[in-house]
Amino acid sequence: MSTLADHLRALPDEALAALLRLRPDLVVPVPTDLSALAVRAQSRVSVARALDGLDQFTLRILDAARLTRDPEHDETSTEAILVLATAGPGVDRAAARTAVDRLRALFLLYGPESALRVVPGVDEVCSPYPAGLGRPAADLDPETAALVADPARLRRTLLAAPPPARAILDRLAAGPPVGTLPTAVRPDDATGTDGSAAPVSWLVDNRLLVPISEASAPAGRSAAVELPREIGLLLRRDAGPLGPLLPTPPQVTGTVRESKAADSAGAGQAMEVVRHTEALLEQLATEPAPVLRSGGLGVRDLRRLARATGLDESTAALLLEVAYAAGLLGELDLPGATTTRAGADQQMLPAAGYEAWRDGSLAHRWEHLARAWLTMTRQVGLIGRRDDRERPITVLSAEAERAGVPAVRRAVLEVLDDLEPGTAPTPDEVVELLGWRAPRRNLGREAGQREALAEAGLLGVTGLGALTSYGRLLLAQWTAGDIRLTETDDDPLGRRPDAGGAAGGGSPTVRALDALLPAPVDHFLVQADLTVVVPGPPDPTLAEELAAVAEPESAGGASVHRVTGASVRRALDTGYAADDLHALFRRRSRTPVPQGLTYLVDDIARKHGGLRAGSAGAYLRSDDEALLAEVLADRRLVGMSLRRLAPTVLATPHLVGRLVTALREAGYAPVTEDASGATVLTRPKVRRAPTRVSVANRVADPLAAPKLTGPRLLGIVEQIRRGDVAARAARRAPATVRGGRAGGTGGELPSTHAHTQALAVLQQAVRDRTLVWVGYVDAHGSTASRLVRPVSIGAGYLRAEDERTEMLHTFALHRITAAVLEEQ
């Protein structure tokens, strides 16, 4: 009987390369020979990976192979599998044959069509009840076996079953065929309506169910019962022996929308995502949030951030997680912190790469966030729930880490990508289709799949429920392995020099999204009520200027800001002069600058700097003695303990910052000065956490299957075949060569006589250019053998060529234990 290794050995290189392409985990690491490859292909881990990628129908065909095996030879045939699969309705031979061919290509089935074998790992990984059918009656109970051997008696017994008992049989026939008494019997099934015995007792007494040992029952359950296979097949006569089969995936209809409408909706949501993310990060820059000692942000801080940005808590949590994954958010140790425990004495605030991200175009910024979302291993839907210890799961905490989440997102987006553009399926349709495509892999992931769909809509990857055109491009980049960003020291966003903010630069995703977004504007409209309307997304320079001179009131496709006395004073504090502000509004406004705005700027500028503060604690001076007298008499400033030092100078024991704040709260407009009397510009000091790298830029999982190109596959096949030849040749080596010198033990150096004999054989092989088996002791003291063609002997070394690898080897003569000519 040939083994799997024999079948692999008989394959041509192209077929062996095809197997490695279908099961790339078999070459991590590359097996030494074909025997090692066969062992790995039958292992539990590798078989489980292969099964995880199979659809529901192919798995049922594999069950058919397991059911039709001959118990004596453990073999089945293609014809037997096809007959069993097509016994039910809705299955043709072509579909079943395609599934069998796929199983054979994966080498889950191997051998000739008349004697197919199932690799042992399948029985270890899969359910012990193929297709939900129990064991044969002969393996369970002789009396039950006698019952199923008499078809007429079996039918009479089934027809005589009371309705509650028949209901139990139908449940077990659908699979799995084993039930414990607490689950197989409902309370109202304990006795029949006519006072008859309990249904399970009736079934057991009539040999339709077989009690099995308590060891076979689930832990913590009472003794179980099992439905024999023959009875289960009889009860399935309408659905077919394998149960209901779906050779084709469930149909997804959904709602068909205009592709342009979906793209427009998605692009609008993408703009909102970028704006809300920036707002959250600006809030954290203004008021950093403390990091919990267990890691992550507290519930109160999440609520504060959500309230400040006008978001619900779930959306704020998602954007914070994505920003952290994108490297835009990080932890900063507080000054004087000595503890090294994670999360202790730290604050959460924007990271060093935040400014570079903020200065990019909308499309670049969105792509940076979307790539991080695709690859981050965070299940945001868990936030707000409780862990095993009944503690709430918070934003950025370790409890929300799930390694399989990126695969769930990819699977969901691939479903949308396979549909016609503009098709918006329902979540139930997506979950059902994924359950058919890979039932083993997607079991228990239904909630995560629904969350992935919702997150894709919130982030603008989908629009109106359909995958956007730029979302398809993003998914194509991910599938092609081009999802990583190429970071440089100059640009943490990884933009190429030609990317910029123009629609022609950047990745295909950026260019597609740029074409859908409104072009950045470099102007605004100033109205008489001092509101500033920006008719589109502002370019980075305009956005920075607006942040300095106006207060934001509303955002969206067209944002609204308002110029106030406080915003003008803030601009003057950061170094603008009145003339600079007038020039800015004239240059940027497409409408005439209202006179009220000019008066406001001049009025604030005239008062600005009229008072100058220094430290005494701090001092306050002014050329206007009446103004100083007013300040000294102001009851709102009693807490500053001001006293006159000179007609034009007041002093306070408090620090200059507190003095300036109190004066401004009282309605004055002081400025600070240094020791020379020069005005100190008070640009706000920006604190940033250390630079972090986006998860999309990190090194791929070392355990992930490698991407295998055709040439690389053929190279691996050649390497395995060479190793196989070497292993088989080593097994053919003479015993004297494999075990060292005759009469000695492995690892010993040769005696003088044996060494002289070996040298004579090697010298003859050099003269005749013949192959010779060389036994030697390596540097670790282990014996080894190699079939080589000697080239020369001299200076204490043998130089010989290994014909298999075409490499030249050098052997120290004193380590050679034996030499035997190869038999021709």
778 CA to centre of own chain: 46
Burial of 54 (0-12, 13-18, 19+ CB in 10 A): buried
Which tokens in the block code for residue 355? 């400014």
The three-state secondary structure class of 769 is coil
Quickly list DSSP for 65-127.
HHHT-BTTTTBB-HHHHHHHHTTSTT--HHHHHHHHHHHHHTTSEES-TTSBEE-HHHHHHS-
Distance in angstroms (rounded) separating the CA atoms of residues 524 and 531: 10
**Which residue's entry shows tokens 């529901």?**
56
The three-state secondary structure class of 791 is strand
| Residues 377 and 405: beta-carbon distance below 8 Å | yes
Model pLDDT for residues 64-121, shown as the tens digit of each residue: 999 999 888 889 999 999 999 998 888 889 999 999 999 999 999 999 999 999 999 9
For residue 615, pLDDT over 70 is answered with no
Beta-ladder partners of 117: 110
Could you tell me which of 120, 90, 97 has the C-alpha nearest to residue 107? 120
* pLDDT at res. 346: 86
Q: Is 63 left (phi over 0), alpha (psi -120 to 50) or beta?
A: alpha
CA atoms within 13 A on the CB side of 76: 23
Distance in angstroms (rounded) separating the CA atoms of residues 75 and 493: 58
Amino acid occupying residue 26 = L
Which tokens in the block code for residue 83? 């007959």
- For residues 695 and 644, the model is more confident at 644
List alpha helices for 521-669, DSSP H.
540-549, 565-573, 578-588, 595-607, 625-633, 656-665
- Say if strands 117-118 and 109-110 run parallel, antiparallel, or are unpaired: antiparallel
Distance in angstroms (rounded) separating the CA atoms of residues 401 and 413: 21
* pLDDT at res. 737: 65
* pLDDT at res. 679: 81
- Say if strands 551-554 and 289-290 run parallel, antiparallel, or are unpaired: unpaired
- Say if strands 462-463 and 466-467 run parallel, antiparallel, or are unpaired: antiparallel
| Residues 86 and 92: beta-carbon distance below 8 Å | yes
Confidence band for 197, pLDDT divided at 50, 70 and 90: very low
Model pLDDT for residues 530-575, shown as the tens digit of each residue: 899 988 888 888 888 888 888 888 877 778 989 998 888 888 888 8
Distance in angstroms (rounded) separating the CA atoms of residues 144 and 150: 10
Distance in angstroms (rounded) separating the CA atoms of residues 344 and 263: 44
Residues 6+ positions from 53 with CB-CB distance below 8 Å: 438, 441
Q: What angle do CA 26, 28, 34 make, to 5 degrees?
A: 45
Burial of 731 (0-12, 13-18, 19+ CB in 10 A): exposed
Model pLDDT for residues 12-62, shown as the tens digit of each residue: 999 999 999 999 989 888 888 888 899 999 999 999 999 999 999 999 999
| Residues 251 and 237: beta-carbon distance below 8 Å | no
Q: What share of the chain is helix, strand, coil (3-state, %, to 5)?
A: 50, 15, 40
For residue 486, pLDDT over 50 is answered with no
Could you tell me which of 64, 3, 63, 15 has the C-alpha nearest to residue 39? 3
Confidence band for 337, pLDDT divided at 50, 70 and 90: low
Distance in angstroms (rounded) separating the CA atoms of residues 180 and 184: 6
* pLDDT at res. 100: 95
Model pLDDT for residues 788-820, shown as the tens digit of each residue: 899 999 888 999 988 766 788 888 888 888 888
Model pLDDT for residues 217-228, shown as the tens digit of each residue: 444 444 588 999
* pLDDT at res. 482: 59
Q: For the ranges 54-63, 482-491, 577-586, which has the lowest average pLDDT?
A: 482-491
Distance in angstroms (rounded) separating the CA atoms of residues 437 and 619: 76
| Residues 468 and 460: beta-carbon distance below 8 Å | yes
For residue 461, pLDDT over 60 is answered with yes
Question: Which of 170-179, 238-247, 250-259, 453-462 ranks highest by mean pLDDT?
Answer: 453-462
The b-or-e profile of 106-140 (16+ CB within 10 A means b, else e) is: bbbbbbeeebbbbbebbeebbeebbbbbbbebbeb
Distance in angstroms (rounded) separating the CA atoms of residues 814 and 797: 8
Confidence band for 706, pLDDT divided at 50, 70 and 90: low
Q: Report the first-to-last Cα separation within the chain, whole angstroms.
A: 29
The b-or-e profile of 172-199 (16+ CB within 10 A means b, else e) is: bbebebbbbbeebbeeebeeeeeeeebb
Radius of gyration of the chain from its Cα atoms, rounded to whole angstroms: 39
Mean pLDDT of the chain: 84
Prediction pTM value: 0.74
Residues 6+ positions from 125 with CB-CB distance below 8 Å: 44, 47, 48, 51
- Say if strands 531-534 and 525-526 run parallel, antiparallel, or are unpaired: antiparallel
| Residues 628 and 650: beta-carbon distance below 8 Å | yes
Which tokens in the block code for residue 577? 């002069």
| Residues 298 and 306: beta-carbon distance below 8 Å | no
For residue 438, pLDDT over 90 is answered with yes
Distance in angstroms (rounded) separating the CA atoms of residues 437 and 441: 9
Model pLDDT for residues 118-150, shown as the tens digit of each residue: 999 999 999 889 999 999 999 888 999 999 999
Distance in angstroms (rounded) separating the CA atoms of residues 260 and 463: 10
Q: What angle do CA 8, 14, 15 make, to 5 degrees?
A: 40
The three-state secondary structure class of 751 is coil
Distance in angstroms (rounded) separating the CA atoms of residues 369 and 328: 9
